[in-house]
Chain A
Amino acid sequence: MRPRGARWRARAGLRTRLLLAFLLVAAVSAGTTATLTYRKARTAILEQAQDTAVSSFRERVSDMATPLPIEPQSLQEQLRALARQGKPHPWVVFAEYGSIRVSSGTSPVSTVITPQLRRAALANPHGGFQRVEKHGEPWLTVAVPTVFRAGKTVRPTGLVLYAVMPLSDEEANVRSMVTAARDGALPGLAVAIIPALLAARSVLRPVRDLRKASQSMGRGRLDTRIQVKGGDELADLARTFNESAIALERSVGELRDAEARARRFASDVSHELRTPLAGMLAVTEVLDEDAARLAPDTAAAVRLISAETGKLAVLVEDLMEISRFDARAAELNTDEVDVAQTIRKTLTIRRWTDPDRIVTELPDGIRARLDPRRFDIVVANLVGNALRHGGAPVTVRLRKAPEAHGEGTRLVTEVADSGPGIRPEVLPHIFDRFYKADSARTRSEGSGLGLAITLENVRLHGGTIRAANGPQGGAVFTVEIPLTGGEATGGEVRK
C-alpha cells in the first residue's frame, strides 16, 4: 500500500492532466476561431471604412472646378464644403499644389500624412490611402490626385487632395471584438472544465474500483470482482482483472486442496503408523530387557532397533501433533497458573535440575491463563533444544513486559544458551519443519518438528516467539504471550 500523499498525487496527476488536455484543446480551438474571425471582421470593418472614404472622397473631389494655378481663397472654401460631406466620418481636407498648402482646418499642413503617401500620389495618378498611427490614435489618410481633361487625354493638374479621418470608431469596434472574443473564450474555457471533470471522473472511477479490488485481493479476498460497465479500454481492463482473479482463485484453491490432501495424508499415515509402532515399542522393551543375555552383536542390533523405534514413535507423535495444528483441531485448555511453578515443574519432570546446566530466574507470583500442557511443551522444547544444540549453562528467565506499542502486558519467557549461537542465514528458517541447521548432520536427536510445534503452541496462545543471538553469543529464544489470556488465536512470528 502506497503512502497516502503519493496516492493523492497520482490521482490528482491524472485528473490534472485530463483537465489540462481539455483546456488546451478548448483554448486552441477557441483561440484559433476567435483569431480567424477577428482577422476577417477587422479586415471587413477597415475595408468598408476605407473604401467608403476613398470612393466618396474621389466623388466629391470630382465635382470640383478650379483654375490653374489654383486660387487659395476659393479652394479653401471648396475644401470646407468638402470636409462637411465626409463619409463615413467628417474629414479634414488638405490640398497641395506646387508650394501652396491649403486645408479645411486650422493648420494648412497635416502632420498625419506621410511622405510616402505624398510621393505615391505625385508619382502615379492613382488614388491611394494609408492607415497611420499618430498620437496613439489610428487615422486614415486618403490621397486623391486630380487630373483634368485636355484634348483627348487627361493630364495631372498638380493638385493633390488629401482627406484625413480618424478611425477611432473602427478602432473601438475592433477593440470591442477583441473584448467579445476574450469574454467568449474565457467562459468557453470555464465550460470546458465541466466535460473535462466528467471525463476525468469516468476514467478515474474505474481506476479507483480497480485499486480497491486489487487491495481487497491483496488482503486475501480472492472472490473480489469488478462490475464491468461499457466496452471501453477500462472495461476491458476490468474484464481482464476479473478473469485473472478467477484464474488466481482457481489456482489458489487447487493449491489449498493439494496442501490439505498432503496434510491429511501425513495425518493418516501417522495414525496408521501409531498402532504398529505401539506394538513394536512393547516388543523392543522386552528385547531391551533381554539384550544383556544376547550375543554382543545381536544385543547392539537390538538396542539400535529399540532406540530407532523410540525415535520413530516420537516423530509420529510430533507429526500427529502438527497435523492437528494444520487441521486447526488444536484446542487451548487454559487454566490460571503460577508461571514460575509451571516452568519449574517442567524442568523437574525432565530432570533438568543440575544448576551447572540450568540457571533459572523465575520470580514467583506471576499468574497467567495458559494451557499448562502446551506451555510445558513450549518450555521443554526450547530448553531441550538449547541443551542439545547450544551449550550449557542454559538460562530460563521469566518476566512481565509492560504495555507498549499498543499491546497489553505480556508474559516474556526467555531461554538462552551459552553455545555458539545460530548462524544468520539459518535464523529465518529456524522454525521451519524438518529444517536442518547443520546440513552435514543428516540425523538429529529430535524429530525436526520441535520448534515448529513450539511456534504453533505459542501462536495458539496468541503470542509470538523469536529467535536471536544474545550479546554474549548463544541463541536466545523469546516467547511473549499476552497476560490477558489465550482468547487470541492468531499471532505472528517475529524473527
Chain B
Amino acid sequence: MKRRGAAAARAAAACVMAVAPLTGCGVRGSDVIEAGGPATVTVFPADEQRLLLFFVSPEGRLTPVARRVGGDGSGQAVRSGQAVGPPLGDKVLAALFAGPSDGERAAGLRTRLPRPEGRPAMKWSPRDVLVHLPLAVRDLSETARRQVVCTVAYAEGGDGDAEVTLAGQDGALPPTHCDA
C-alpha cells in the first residue's frame, strides 16, 4: 500500500513536471537585448555649411550641435581658405566658449567651460592642432576638455581624428583625440 502510494506520488510529480511548462507561460519580459547598429540619420545643414560645437546633455554626455556657418550669431561666414579676418577655428572656439544658444538651452544642453578672460587661439597643422586657452587647462573637468578637443577636431574642415593639444596658463596637457 505504501509502495503504491509512493509510485502514485512519483507519477503525479512526473505529470506535473511534463505539463507545468505548458501552462504558466505566455510572452514574458526580457532583459535588454542588443540588436544591430544605430540608425544613421541625416543632419542638416550639410557637412560644409555647418560647424559642430560640443555641449553637455543633462545626462552629462557630450552632445554635438550643428550651427549653420554664417547663419545665426555663431560666427562669420568665413571659410578656412579665405585670408580675411581671424582664422575660422578661433571663431569656432569663441562660439564654443560663448555657450549654448537659447534653442540649445531649451533642449537641456549646457557647457562646462568657464568664460575665458581673453580670446582662445588655435594653431592648425594637417595632423595636429594646438589650442591656446586663456585659462588654467588643468582646472578644467574631463568633459570640458573633451568639449574643446572635439569641437576643435571637427573645426577647420577637420574630420574629427586630429590630435589636439590643449595649452593654457598652467602649461599643456598631453595630446588627445576626440574619440579617446
Residues of A within 8 A of B (CB): 13, 17, 20, 23-24, 27-28, 30-32, 34-35, 38-39, 42, 46, 50-51, 54-55, 58-59, 61-62, 64-70, 97-100, 114, 116-117, 120, 122, 124-133, 138, 142, 144-159, 161, 167, 170-171, 174-175, 178, 181-182, 185
Contacts and interface: CB of A to CB of B under 8 A. Distances in A.
B59 interface: yes
A127 B26 contact: no
Given A17-B7, A28-B14, A159-B41, A128 B32 contact: yes
Nearest to A51: B35
A38 B21 contact: yes
Interface residues of B, number: 55
B42 A148 contact: yes
A167 to B, nearest CB: 5
Given A20-B7, A28-B18, A67-B66, A98 B108 contact: yes
A64 B29 contact: no
Contacts of A130: 29-33
Contacts, number: 212
B48 to A, nearest CB: 11
B109 to A, nearest CB: 6
Given A127-B35, A129-B33, 16 more contacts: A31-B21, A51-B35, A64-B42, A67-B44, A68-B64, A69-B104, A98-B58, A117-B32, A124-B34, A127-B34, A146-B39, A149-B47, A153-B161, A155-B160, A175-B26, A178-B23
B172 to A, nearest CB: 25
A133 B29 contact: yes
A262 B155 CA distance: 135
B38 interface: yes
A147 B38 contact: yes
Nearest to A156: B38
A185 B43 CA distance: 57
Interface in B15-61: 15, 17-19, 21-23, 25-45, 47, 52, 57-59, 61
Contacts of B31: 116, 130
Interface string B93-110: 000000000011011110
A385 B159 CA distance: 140
B43 A68 contact: yes
B63 interface: yes
A182 B156 CA distance: 69
A148 B42 CA distance: 6
A151 B161 contact: yes
Contacts of B45: 67
The 8 tightest CB contacts between A and B, nearest first, are A151-B159, A31-B18, A99-B108, A98-B108, A61-B39, A158-B63, A65-B42, A138-B27
A98 B37 contact: no
Nearest to B54: A155
Given A31-B17, A32-B18, A100 B108 contact: yes
B158 interface: yes
